[in-house]
Chains A and B, each alone.
Chain A
Amino acid sequence: MTGSPKFQQAGDALYVELPAAFDLPFPAFVALVRGVAGENHIDWTAVREAYLYARGRHFPIGSRDESAALREKAKVRFSPDGLSAYLIFYPPKPKGRRLEETEIYDLIASYGVAEELVNHREIKNVLHRRDYGEPLLIAQGRNAVSPPPVRLEWAEPAPPTDPEGFLAALPLLGVFPERVLTPVAAGKTVARRIVAAPGKPGINARGQTIPAKAVIDPNLYGEGLQIAGAARELVAAQKPGHLRVTGIAGIAGAFCAGVVPGREIHDSQALLECMGNGFFVGSLIYHGDLEVAYPVYVLGNLEVRGALVSTKVRVAGSLFVRDGIIHTERQPVQCSGLVTAGFFDHAGVAAHTVHVRRHSLHSQLYAMDRVLGARGSSLVGGHIEAGRLIEADVMGAQQSSQTRVCIGNQARSTLSLAFRQWLEQLSRQLAEGAALPEPLLEELSLLKLPPGEGYSPAVGKIIARNVFPGVSIGFDSLSRDVKDTVSNVTFTFERLGDKERIAMARA
């Protein structure tokens, strides 16, 4: 046994104080109390309360006055997180009296509730009116405040280029930024490292301090960037290239950056030359409309500051098109990240995520994850397919354009097949000692997943503000034709036993 209980007779009342590390089993403690009770009438509920909740403090467990057993009683309980303390009253027996204010405060103190946190107004109120059996919140602590993680503040806007990061940042960037990919020169300061103020400690209802959480300092900069400045608060580029910014898994709004090889191209001849080995390794900005007769393969991100017209494009990264993607249905754009364009006109696209900023006309859009339309966007004609979600304001048109909108897994198979050869070529080059930038190889990691993994039509959703007749909604091989215009609607897949159907719910 660690320590012994101290019993103390003060007037009629018998108190016990149990050491914090008292480990005598409860039945043995009961036997001990029986032994010292003498003329006292023991309150066995109080004995149990002292054993469970009042270590290290005086707790009344009996009285020589027989009428004490008839008196009104009370207990204190704490919420599982320890932040809140509740007082519960139990009615007096016939001829018993109510607890007085000082007795209530003594009891609260015996349970270890911090005096500075006690809500005295509630105690005053309860002196007039008791609600027996109902817990009354009498003390409320404060949780520790977590500090925000260390972050980078960009010298110039530098949006992330991964699908999740870009779409999350888009509301801050506006409809579409002037520039997405950001060229940097060696030695240039690209960002300031912002270390937030430390968090604040909290306090639980017993007055114990809840330590403040440590500042999360994720690895925000990788290859090609280094810390600079007297106070080590600046982030500077070590080499020329383009910034590659991506979201950090598990930390909302946090991004990490590096510098990858990058080029700005202004004409088709220069583009052909920079793809000496059949593809460009790095981040590429093409100024003007991209319409060339040869395939354009980029291991990295590609930004087209114009339109992409009738050109075979394969991107292991994300593709940002300022204007539109036009007439690529015969040679679909293949992209392992995000494809965003103002419009898609007779376009063919297979990508991880497709972002339609204004409209898609008679296009074949396949996404492994999502096809997302911006506010006011429309999907008219063609075939739109995604593995998880399709969302747009308008689907179909009043002129009854045949539009197929469906949840399916075609994009992953298409992309896996398309990129397999490239992956094999890259593997050979790596084996032969070629220096390929590690971050760029990450872009291909999604495509290494087996085609069926993680896909189920049951988790798919199709959401639209207006769907016109002529639209066919699909989930794998199931179809449902829309016969009348429907508004604010969500389509989902339901399986009831061996029966499957497409459910339609209106908001």
Chain B
Amino acid sequence: MSPRPFKETVLIVEDTEFMAEVLREIFTEEGYVVHWAKDGEEGLTLYPEILPDLVTLDIVMPGKDGLQVLGELWRMDPSCRVIMVSAVGLESKVLEAVRMGAKNFVVKPFDREKVLKAARQALNEY
């Protein structure tokens, strides 16, 4: 996948620093500008400030979970592009997120190609 000739921004909402670091490395190497929010509250604060092109949103987080955050993001920006991030065994939550408007999902542990493909698909939708 060749890098885009313009900058695209990703907001990673992920409470596990290690997982966030893995995602950051995947996106940074591909030329994206990456921001990290360590929980849903911080993600909701950061989102309107940076208006990222894409959000990766962990489903299970302390405080507000991924589905609650997704709902609030939609109210802030009905055009937001969100990829849900989940562990194996959370299929029902992922389906609910997709029904709520999430563009795609990726499963932990991360496969670089799958993450980038999901991101590109979400960004290639209007």
Contact = CB atoms under 8 A, between A and B. Distances in A.
Interface of A: 25-27, 30, 42, 44-45, 47-48, 51-52, 73, 75, 77-80, 84, 86, 90, 132-133, 135, 137
Given A45-B126, A73-B126, A90-B125, A135 B75 contact: no
6 contacts: A26-B51, A26-B77, A44-B79, A45-B79, A75-B126, A77-B6
Contacts of A86: 5-6
A48 B126 contact: no
Contacts of B75: 27
A71 to B, nearest CB: 10
Given A30-B78, A48-B79, A79-B6, A90 B51 contact: no
A27 B74 CA distance: 10
B76 interface: yes
Contact of A79 (B5, B76, B79, B126): B5
Given A26-B51, A44-B78, 9 more contacts: A27-B75, A30-B77, A30-B78, A80-B6, A80-B7, A84-B5, A90-B125, A132-B124, A137-B5
Contacts of A44: 77-79
A227 to B, nearest CB: 48
A223 to B, nearest CB: 50
A132 B79 CA distance: 19
Contacts of B78: 30, 42, 44
A75 B78 CA distance: 17
For chain B, give the interface size range: 10 to 19
B76 A30 contact: yes
A135 B125 contact: no
A27 B5 contact: no
B4 interface: yes
Contacts of A137: 5
B4 A135 contact: yes
Interface string B95-126: 00000000000000000000000000000111
B48 interface: yes
A134 to B, nearest CB: 9
A78 B6 contact: yes
Interface string B56-97: 000000000000000000011111000000000000000000
Interface string B2-20: 0011110000000000000
A132 B51 CA distance: 24
A483 B7 CA distance: 54
Contacts of A78: 6
Contacts of B126: 45, 73, 75, 90
Residue of B48, B75, B76, B126 ringed by the most chain A CB atoms within 10 A: B126
A101 to B, nearest CB: 20
Contact of A133 (B5, B76, B79, B124): B124
A133 B79 CA distance: 17
A90 B126 CA distance: 6
A114 to B, nearest CB: 17
B124 A48 contact: no
B100 to A, nearest CB: 15
Contacts of B76: 26-27, 30
Contacts of A25: 48
A78 B5 CA distance: 8
B71 to A, nearest CB: 13
A133 B122 CA distance: 11
A45 B125 CA distance: 10
Nearest to B72: A27
| In the complex, the 9 A-B pairs of residues with the closest C-beta atoms, listed nearest first | A90-B126, A44-B79, A44-B78, A133-B124, A77-B6, A27-B76, A45-B79, A73-B126, A26-B48
Nearest to A25: B48
A16 to B, nearest CB: 14
Nearest to B125: A90
Contacts of B51: 26, 48, 51-52
A84 B7 CA distance: 12
A25 B75 CA distance: 13
Contacts of A84: 5
A132 B124 CA distance: 8
A95 B117 CA distance: 27
Residue of A45, A47, A75, A137 ringed by the most chain B CB atoms within 10 A: A45
Contacts of A77: 4, 6
A180 B6 CA distance: 52
Nearest to B74: A44
A166 to B, nearest CB: 42
A322 B126 CA distance: 73
A217 to B, nearest CB: 36
A207 B124 CA distance: 28
Nearest to A132: B124
